[in-house]
Structure formats: C-alpha cells, structure tokens
Amino acid sequence: MRTRWTTAAVTLALVGGLLAGMPGASSAHDPDTPAGRSSAVAFMAQREPTQQLTALAQVSCSNGQAGGYPCRNVDLLSFLPLSQIGGSQANDIWGWTDPGTGREYAIVGRRNGTSFVDISDPTAPVYLGNLPAYQNRTAIWRDVKVYRNHAIVVADVRGHGMQVFDLTRLRSVGSPQTFTADAHYNRFGNSHNIAINEQTGYAYAVGSNTCRGGLHMIDIRTPTSPTFAGCVNQDGYTHDTQCVVYQGPDSAYTGREICVSSNEDTITIVDVTSKASPRQIVRAAYSGRQYTHQGWLTDNHRYFVLDDELDETRAGGGTKTFVFDLYDLDAPRHIGTHTSSAAATDHNQYIKGNYSYQANYRAGLRILDLRGIASGTLTEAGYFDVYPSSDSASMNGAWSVYPYFASGTVVVSGIEQGLFVLRPNLPAVTSAADRPVTVDRRIPA
C-alpha cells in the first residue's frame, strides 16, 4: 500500500520558507481536528501579505516590469486585491463566458467562499458578489469548474459537499451580492478537487472521503439535479484528473471516455465509459517523482504535461515540467523534462493550443511553448511574477490560472494577493505545421 501524502500534511513542516514532507492522514485537511487546525495555521502563516496591496489597471510589460511585477511578454490589464473581492485568502480560479451576452467572468475560490468578477472590460473588472462556503465551512483548498452555465464548487473540508450555482443569475447584478447555491450534492463531504468532462456531462470529485479517495463520478447533465454515477477506487487517492472523450493516436480507445489522473506517485489512466464498471488501463511511474500533482493533455491527446509538486523542495533545482508521450495509452513514456530558471514549486497548469499556462506559486504565471513537444522539448514564452520578492520553492503566490477566454485574457489567482487579469503577447502560429492537431469530440454511446 502506498503512503498517502497530502498538501495539508506537507504544510505542517513549512517554517521560514522551507518545506520538508511528512506522511499525513486525511484529518490533516479538516479544521475540525487538531491536526487540521495546526496545518491551517502553519499554511496560512505563509500567506499573510507583506504589504497593503492596491488595485491596478492597464500596465504594459516594459523593461521586464509591469506595475512592480516582473514580466516577459505578459501585460497587466488589472489587479483586484483580496480586500475588494471578498477577503480572506484565494485558492482556485476558473472562468465563464456568458453564451447569451458574450461577457466574461472570473470565478475565484477563497477560504470562505467563491467570488464572481465581471472582467468583460479587463481593465475595469467589477466584483459582483460571493457564494459563501456551505454552512460556513472554511477551507484552504476550494475548487471550481463550470458546466452548462453552472459553477460546480467543492472544498477539502468535512461536510462541505458540492455546491451548484446558476451563473446566469450574474446578468442582473447591479451591486455586490451574497448569493445562495441553486443545488447541493452531499454524497461526499470533503473533496480536494473536481474535474468536469463537458462533452459527457459528468463531474469527477477527487481526494474525497469516498471511493478510497479516487474518482467519485457524478451525473450533472441536469446541473441542479446531480446524481451519483460510480467510483474509481482501484488505485486509491487521486489528487487531480482530466477526463476526455479520447481522440488520440491509440485507436483501441477512440471515442472512449478516458481519465488521466495524477495519483501522488503515478499517472493512472482509467477508462470510465461505463460508470458502473470503470477499467484501469495503466499505472505509470516515472524517474524523479516526488508528488504527482496535476497535469493536462495536449489538444490532440498525444502528450501529457505534468507538474510534480514536491520535487523542487526535495531534490532542488528549477521548476520541472515532465512530458509524457501517450501514443500507447497502455504504456506512457516519459520523453523529456523542462527545467525552469526559477526554483519555484509548481502547482497547476492548463494547455490551450501551443502553450501551457502554469501557476508556479512564487514564480507566478509561466507560459511554456509546446511546439517542440514531440522531442520532449519545451521553451519558456513568457511570464508574470505575482510574488516579486522571491522565486524560491514554497507554497504561496500563484495558485491557479484560467487561459480559455476567447478574448485572450488570462486570469490568475494569487493566494495572498487576489485577482490578476493579464494579456499574454505570444508569437503567432506561423505555419500549418505549427498548429495543434484538432479533433472531432465525439461522445461515446
């Protein structure tokens, strides 16, 4: 049986910016337990702002700086400190584009709730209000995704469950509101993260108190009536996952619903087409693993780009991004590792076209060019450093990033800072050979 590591357990050892890992139990996430309270105090002590932060707007990246933040090829369109979007500390971030109006919104997780910010004018964002944590259960770890105009929110704290919020309610907001959820799902209590396959209408809660910490599958095709669909528990605790209708090169799985999961010490790939009888395809380890945290597939489903959260603190060196070739889903191959000039701990990344947009804690937003990925080679295309005082390996600074707005706007959540609204200026695709492969997303029967 594998030793289970949790981010909460790791943060117990954060002292003076140093981190030393230790095994921890699920109670380390729960503020209702002594271990959870101790963990929360240690974790949050690292996240107190060192100065009063103020709002900023429309600052171009010039000579390596934008409003006091180091940058390259990324402009600052605006910044809202936490004090102006609900307070406390930030965690996850996602986005929503209203299909009826085209307006763009940032959805920012915080310890005590979820904030909604209209960023349709990215130089003048407007805070619309807060969805409080379920029964005021605050949590360091909150996660949010979107399906059919509904925000789906979970938190890694006992008894929180899953909140569902109808985002179209934001259309009529004239001043900041305190919102209530439109539905609540209680088949689990805590969940470290949630993924959604928008093609099939299923959500996948991970790291919960159910399914041995593996994928807890939920039918959300009617978002306000979520129903339990099944478990994936063969490999125990899953920290994060991405689930897709597979259209990659392995024809044996074409049209199947596949989840590629980061399971602490392996990449674990599962066929979840049948929710009643999911099948584990492979558990793949790799050299240099310390904590298999999160990753994302390229658009053509050929490659998986992974961040390992603890290799920098345990092994030293720059931020490492691992590249895997999934030509054969039964036998993933580690074909390259990109090492950044910054030593920061990596956290979350999402791929859009030729670029991976990474939230690397103290190094902030880092953007990697994927056009050399076939040879396992990535290059840095730009960055915006939300934590100027240090790029060292520690768990504060940028928590996550959302790069999927059609406008090109990118939003980043700073744990102790707030909401950064950014505009990358990246090289255009110049030839057909450079373009990412596009695929027909078919839903399996």
d(CA 278, CA 281): 9
Count of CB atoms situated within 10 Å of the CB of 52 = 7
Between the CA atoms of 305, 4, 90 and 260, what dihedral angle is there, to the nearest 10 degrees?
30
DSSP H helical ranges for 16-120: 34-45
Which pLDDT belongs to residue 429? 56
Is residue 179 over pLDDT 70?
Answer: yes
pLDDT tens digits, one per residue of 392-434: 999 999 999 999 999 999 999 999 999 999 999 997 754 333 4
Non-local (6+) Cβ contacts of 175 within 8 A are none
User: For residues 377 and 147, what is the distance between their CA atoms, to the nearest angstrom?
Assistant: 33
Q: For residue 353, what are the contacts with CB-CB under 8 A and spacing of at least 6?
A: 299, 429, 436
pTM: 0.89
Q: Is the dihedral of CA 293, 298, 304, 310 positive or negative?
A: negative
Structural domains in the chain?
1-46 (no CATH), 56-434 (2.130.10.10)
Q: Do 215 and 261 contact (CB within 8 A), yes or no?
A: yes
- Segment 131-150 mean pLDDT: 97
How far from the centroid of its chain's Cα atoms is residue 53's Cα?
24
pLDDT band, very low/low/confident/very high, at 31 (cuts 50, 70, 90): very low
Q: What is the pLDDT of residue 427?
A: 79
CA distance linking residue 191 with residue 158, whole number of Å: 9
Predicted pLDDT of residue 125: 97
Mean pLDDT of 143-156: 98
